[in-house]
Structure 1
């Protein structure tokens, strides 16, 4: 047969990018846009809603570094759209490839209720699954003009509110009402998953050519001038190929929704508070639309911020936690460093973290979840066990620059002989999008082949990128049992760990420190930081000693 593989693959990319994805939203009508700049620091929601707005328009520049601009968008659903799915498409001027490191927004209703976050890969708001026609639309967007400070990771005047310039950084790109075409969106997901899987299979694998020919037939069925009218026909030509079951030996992936958020990094602390609220709003909204979606969130501090600053969002989180779908993990107050701090500091991380989760949710967390800490002291297994935790997960060791770590699932043995069952996700990221490339890498990279068959994949955009998306869940659904792919199941971390330990109880043992061969300068060149941290720990111990003594010896002293 004539080898036209590259022609079909190039055609697939072009049709997806130029025809199918642009047709997901049709009949677009511009919304009326108004704006108000908050002076200085962010303001309470009530103040933003009642502010004096002025007219604005798509194409306008907005947002100095670390500023906040409130947008009010209004409109009316046309009567002709009755029965159709209607969404607002709200693009603040995003750079699509940098979720988490640029402008972000939180959408509110007129009563102040948070709806969901706006991010580069997530710029839509569902208004009606089946519109009646004539509905009035009124949404408010609290838009944060965070500068791009992560490319490259070098000092920049934009990184600090006191040195950043006052020029606008972004331009409004789109503020529309539109009809959401579900069959076109499903076709886009079919084409994307089939194409992504195909490109990862070896050329000599017949399955790769089955996918190629099915994609060719589907593309032939798409009328570029009428994608919505021909989407169902194109999907039919992929049905048999996308329902072929996975091979018996297929790697098994436990996919866990996640959004790793650094509590302190490239932005002011108050912006971390808002990033957490935007992400949590997104995730509870996604759960409303996808009953099987599970999202794991670590760091008691971040839950506490939501409770303090966005109690209406926290109420939704509490309900989802009770349903077992918004899963607190980690058991620590923050995702802590474990090299520089002393043992008592780490013990307090567990004490206050687990205390918060127990008091707020009635949950005794089992997993120690530290995907991004810079190496792990050999004292940690003992602290993990003493805290009542059972499992340990990190991703960071896969970043070592010289010696690849020899295991992905193993028993980690500490200084005193305590062992904790440990997993390093072979996908090599804690921000997976569940792409074919990432899942194929996880299966190829898994070092326990022949003895074990399971790994965990944390998926979702972190650091304010908005967490998991509906596109990621569509990929997971299609990859649940598909020939050529690992089997993907969305489930809680504890379910993965239980299955992994049952399958691999005699996993190898690693004794001692888990040393990260990267970021070395954060410790070895920062003697003053290490000295200051140790002095602070000594002073805290001294203060606690005498405060406790005074409380015992003098009944009137409040500890």
Structure 2
């Protein structure tokens, strides 16, 4: 039996590869082909259609990197083909083993009507079924010669990642360009044999079902005349009918297939190319939906829908019809499939606001699920944001990529920092590019961890990026697997239908508390520092612009810039896509991102300045505008402006070299290496720096991960470290409150200014790095004399605790983690915060004291810069500026306050209005206002969003600086929540009660 099995499997493979598949197109004639190469960037469709092309033959090279070539293909269907199915086979030079990441095309009729996309596994265009014979064929192909950057050796540095450095050498060889007869019987025989062969390979060797299939396949192969496959295909199929019609067992796992094409909004291609990728894929999928009545396709990322609407109206019309039919399904409810670790509180909320509002406005559709199959881990603040947006489900797959620990559930409830729980599904198929292979479906069933209590899982099915989505072959396979003995069953369903079934059969799944940490791609918290800085600064500028524009609108009749703010928010949200903000895209993407962030900053600063001048009025009194939430009771938590004041502190030389800064609250000693050897909290009478340690220590590591250069940092990087202690210069600043430190290493240079802020327990560290290293990792270390088993990292609408120890493999795997504006660690009654203005990656470790005393100390290290060479060989080269601060004696409230302060500096405007009171004040330092704005619907209502930031319960009173006649608790989309408890109001005072980390949005109607 063993020999028979091996022989039949080998026979099946060879017959399929060498005889049956080649018989799919038994007759063909060449098409006439001509090409016009568009100069520069892509041209409008009408220009490409009108161009005069030059003849080109199959075998010719074409396509400069990032170029666009318009092919015209013409021919005549032979009259003798009458009654047959005829297709054009248009092979631009595809590599079928790599369905995506290469050249692509969109086919048009002469009148500009899109037909479908061309992709490596989708090279056909239907001409007729059947044809009459004699039809004239004329098609146009807009072909993109996107270079292959991720090849079989994907981590070789390449200059192809930017059109400015990619050169002009043709990238592709034009292959088959024919009219051909499709033998549909042979096509079906191929699918029959593939499905049965793949199923047979997954069944146990001693399974009776396996042997039934083997014998049936053997008989089918006997029926094939290898010199006349087409003439004998039907007979071969008839010998498979019985095994293909045997129904699945009642307990079979059930797979909900969802048509899918995961399209990265930018990655190994620029944003402009994604616009065309989406057009190709949506053209493909709308055409396929017309041919396949059971098929359902889902697409996320409202931005991509908007691109189709704005750039391809002819495709958009087909999309809208398919949506109306309920088969082309908006999913996810976010503007893009963003990173979720690094976006700030408001930005994460606005991903859902703008995504859900787009689908509501365009289609009247509101979906219940967040759809993030490829995002690199999930912050612990996300569940309540999902709920506050009116959604209740989450789908992701990426956690299956974790290197160390296997996640224990596929369906579970995920609990966030405030206690909100979201029904979550990880597809056990372990891919978001399922192709309906038997091995994939069998893996989903075997891998599913919820057996016994559930049997439904989801399979996102289709080639992503440049692959064109779901193929007709996948649909044919799914039809055969709908109810087939030995296999899980497969049915096309919408995401909503799947989630409803999954929740109904498993209403009380296990609960996972805290972040969903991806044990991979940790370096995305650091790569491309300027992209991350641009994001952070844009988030805070947007907050300021909304705040001051709303204040000026209410107080001074300032025209609130609704359209500008909407547009800018969408730009910033787009750049939070999970390959842009994480720094894992090609050079072109990040070059454009830097320029975009500069434009965003200029425009937002203009809005802020105009609003503040409207509030300041005419005059020459210097006013200080402060939009950071204050964390002191009784001080406005929104924003205020007041007359400017100044302050000073003192410094002195340190005996034996070095310098001492002392402001009466902190005494900081900086030695002749430019390192902080003491930061003494005078009020608490205790030292901040660990015994024998030194803060402000720059450390350099080699950084050459095993894979995924821009994405990964592997644990072994810590085995080798160079402490950068040699200083070129350590000198007091001219202001008397700072010390300047200059040091050189490798090909790089660092200049730092350490400043002890007057009247504050805060040592600021401004760092400028002229960075010219490669494959290195730069850290900034602060060893702290604090014994802590855990520490807090800021995340969306609160903070999350992580252990400082590595008791288990789960804790050890978190050797690089994300924070927003601060990390904080403490012993009861005394703590330390390290705050930043633009960094995210960090690590926290503990070690035994070096002074002979018992106990441990804790070291916080901030990740500054990396230098990977793929996919951008010049990653982070150049000058960078960072701001950090060490805050001894900080409670969690101090960490929150100082984190905001370093990110939102005061602004000075000259005017005559005197003090400008805030629109809203809060009387509890634990309550932080993250947004003050006018309602998006243009009603003039004031919207205030805030949260409890300390991790405890809070009863707070908000006082409005304007007359409000109604107060409503709303969701993120500013819609009233019917089941929300109305806050108590007393004139201009609104009293609310908040749970730990609870997020709340109030809508205030102005009297």
Q: TM-score, normalised by structure 2?
A: 0.55
**Aligned residue number for residue 6 of structure 2:** 6
| SS of match in other structure, 2:88 | strand
**Aligned residue number for residue 245 of structure 1:** 247
Equivalent-residue separation in structure 2 for 1:184 and 1:68 (angstroms): 35
Match of 1:360 among 359, 362, 367: 362
**Aligned residue number for residue 281 of structure 2:** 279
| SS of match in other structure, 1:293 | coil
| SS of match in other structure, 1:261 | coil
| SS of match in other structure, 2:241 | coil
Kindly indicate whether the alpha-carbon contact (under 8 Å) linking 2:549 and 2:558 is maintained by their aligned counterparts in 1: no
Matched, 1:179 2:161: no
Number of paired residues?
Answer: 559
Equivalent-residue separation in structure 1 for 2:201 and 2:476 (angstroms): 19
Structure 2, gaps ≥5 residues long: 562-1007
Equivalent-residue separation in structure 1 for 2:313 and 2:77 (angstroms): 31
Equivalent-residue separation in structure 2 for 1:481 and 1:211 (angstroms): 15
Matched, 1:30 2:30: yes
Equivalent-residue separation in structure 1 for 2:377 and 2:528 (angstroms): 16
Match of 2:310 among 308, 311, 324: 308
**Aligned residue number for residue 288 of structure 1:** 290
CA RMSD of aligned residues (A): 1.2
Q: Which 10-residue stretch deviates more, 174-183 or 149-158?
A: 149-158
Matched, 1:107 2:103: no
**Aligned residue number for residue 413 of structure 2:** 411
**Aligned residue number for residue 68 of structure 2:** 68
Equivalent-residue separation in structure 1 for 2:165 and 2:457 (angstroms): 45
Matched, 1:328 2:330: yes
Q: 1:529 to 1:308 in 2, by over 3 A?
A: closer
Equivalent-residue separation in structure 1 for 2:2 and 2:257 (angstroms): 39
Matched, 1:522 2:524: yes
Q: 1:480 to 1:553 in 2, by over 3 A?
A: same
Runs of 4+ displaced beyond 3 Å = 524-532
Equivalent-residue separation in structure 1 for 2:401 and 2:106 (angstroms): 33
For residues 83-129 of structure 1, the C-alpha deviation after alignment (integer angstroms, 9 at most, x for no partner) is 11110010011000111210000000000011000000000000111
Q: Relative contact order: is structure 1 or structure 2 higher (C-alpha 8 Å, sep ≥ 6)? A: 1
Equivalent-residue separation in structure 2 for 1:531 and 1:169 (angstroms): 35
**Aligned residue number for residue 542 of structure 1:** 544
Q: Which 10-residue stretch deviates more, 5-14 or 175-184?
A: 5-14
Matched, 1:504 2:531: no
Equivalent-residue separation in structure 1 for 2:221 and 2:33 (angstroms): 38
Kindly indicate whether the alpha-carbon contact (under 8 Å) linking 2:456 and 2:502 is maintained by their aligned counterparts in 1: yes
Equivalent-residue separation in structure 2 for 1:69 and 1:26 (angstroms): 30
For residues 333-377 of structure 1, the C-alpha deviation after alignment (integer angstroms, 9 at most, x for no partner) is 000111111110011111111110000000011110011111111
Kindly indicate whether the alpha-carbon contact (under 8 Å) linking 2:454 and 2:502 is maintained by their aligned counterparts in 1: yes
Equivalent-residue separation in structure 1 for 2:2 and 2:428 (angstroms): 37
Equivalent-residue separation in structure 1 for 2:110 and 2:530 (angstroms): 50
Kindly indicate whether the alpha-carbon contact (under 8 Å) linking 2:24 and 2:184 is maintained by their aligned counterparts in 1: yes
Equivalent-residue separation in structure 2 for 1:116 and 1:531 (angstroms): 40
| SS of match in other structure, 1:9 | helix
| SS of match in other structure, 2:466 | coil
**Aligned residue number for residue 372 of structure 2:** 370
Equivalent-residue separation in structure 2 for 1:330 and 1:154 (angstroms): 35
Equivalent-residue separation in structure 1 for 2:531 and 2:275 (angstroms): 25
Q: 1:321 to 1:396 in 2, by over 3 A?
A: same
**Aligned residue number for residue 445 of structure 1:** 447
Matching of residues 208-219 of structure 1 within 5 Å: 208-219=210-221
Equivalent-residue separation in structure 2 for 1:187 and 1:525 (angstroms): 49
Q: For residue 209 of structure 1, report the CA deviation from its aligned partner.
A: 1.1
Equivalent-residue separation in structure 1 for 2:292 and 2:48 (angstroms): 31
Matched, 1:223 2:240: no
Match of 1:458 among 460, 473, 487: 460
Q: For residue 155 of structure 1, report the CA deviation from its aligned partner.
A: 3.3
Q: 1:556 to 1:536 in 2, by over 3 A?
A: closer
Kindly indicate whether the alpha-carbon contact (under 8 Å) linking 2:550 and 2:560 is maintained by their aligned counterparts in 1: no
**Aligned residue number for residue 385 of structure 2:** 383
**Aligned residue number for residue 48 of structure 2:** 48
Equivalent-residue separation in structure 2 for 1:525 and 1:304 (angstroms): 29
Kindly indicate whether the alpha-carbon contact (under 8 Å) linking 2:367 and 2:496 is maintained by their aligned counterparts in 1: no
| SS of match in other structure, 2:133 | coil
**Aligned residue number for residue 533 of structure 1:** 535
Q: 1:203 to 1:531 in 2, by over 3 A?
A: same
Equivalent-residue separation in structure 2 for 1:119 and 1:2 (angstroms): 40
Q: For residue 533 of structure 1, report the CA deviation from its aligned partner.
A: 2.8
**Aligned residue number for residue 553 of structure 1:** 555
Equivalent-residue separation in structure 1 for 2:362 and 2:340 (angstroms): 26
Equivalent-residue separation in structure 2 for 1:298 and 1:462 (angstroms): 12
Q: For residue 2 of structure 1, report the CA deviation from its aligned partner.
A: 7.3
Kindly indicate whether the alpha-carbon contact (under 8 Å) linking 2:31 and 2:177 is maintained by their aligned counterparts in 1: yes
Kindly indicate whether the alpha-carbon contact (under 8 Å) linking 2:454 and 2:506 is maintained by their aligned counterparts in 1: yes
| SS of match in other structure, 1:411 | strand
Equivalent-residue separation in structure 2 for 1:527 and 1:232 (angstroms): 61
For residues 165-187 of structure 1, the C-alpha deviation after alignment (integer angstroms, 9 at most, x for no partner) is 21111111101001111100000
Q: TM-score, normalised by structure 1?
A: 0.98
Kindly indicate whether the alpha-carbon contact (under 8 Å) linking 2:68 and 2:144 is maintained by their aligned counterparts in 1: yes
| SS of match in other structure, 1:4 | helix
Q: Which protein is bigger by CA-based radius of gyration?
A: 2
| SS of match in other structure, 2:459 | strand
Equivalent-residue separation in structure 2 for 1:336 and 1:115 (angstroms): 31
Q: 1:551 to 1:95 in 2, by over 3 A?
A: same
Q: Which 10-residue stretch deviates more, 425-434 or 525-534?
A: 525-534
Q: For residue 551 of structure 1, report the CA deviation from its aligned partner.
A: 2.4
Match of 1:490 among 492, 504, 509: 492
Higher fraction of helix:
1
**Aligned residue number for residue 342 of structure 2:** 340
**Aligned residue number for residue 89 of structure 1:** 89
Equivalent-residue separation in structure 2 for 1:362 and 1:374 (angstroms): 31
Equivalent-residue separation in structure 1 for 2:417 and 2:560 (angstroms): 38
**Aligned residue number for residue 124 of structure 2:** 124
**Aligned residue number for residue 19 of structure 1:** 19
Matching of residues 130-279 of structure 1 within 5 Å: 130-151=130-151, 152-279=154-281
Structure 1, gaps ≥5 residues long: none
Q: For residue 526 of structure 1, report the CA deviation from its aligned partner.
A: 6.0
For residues 495-537 of structure 1, the C-alpha deviation after alignment (integer angstroms, 9 at most, x for no partner) is 1111111100111111111100000011156666544432221
| SS of match in other structure, 2:22 | helix
For residues 296-325 of structure 1, the C-alpha deviation after alignment (integer angstroms, 9 at most, x for no partner) is 100000000000110010110000001110
**Aligned residue number for residue 677 of structure 2:** none
Equivalent-residue separation in structure 1 for 2:537 and 2:82 (angstroms): 67
| SS of match in other structure, 2:548 | helix
Higher fraction of strand:
2
Equivalent-residue separation in structure 2 for 1:196 and 1:165 (angstroms): 44
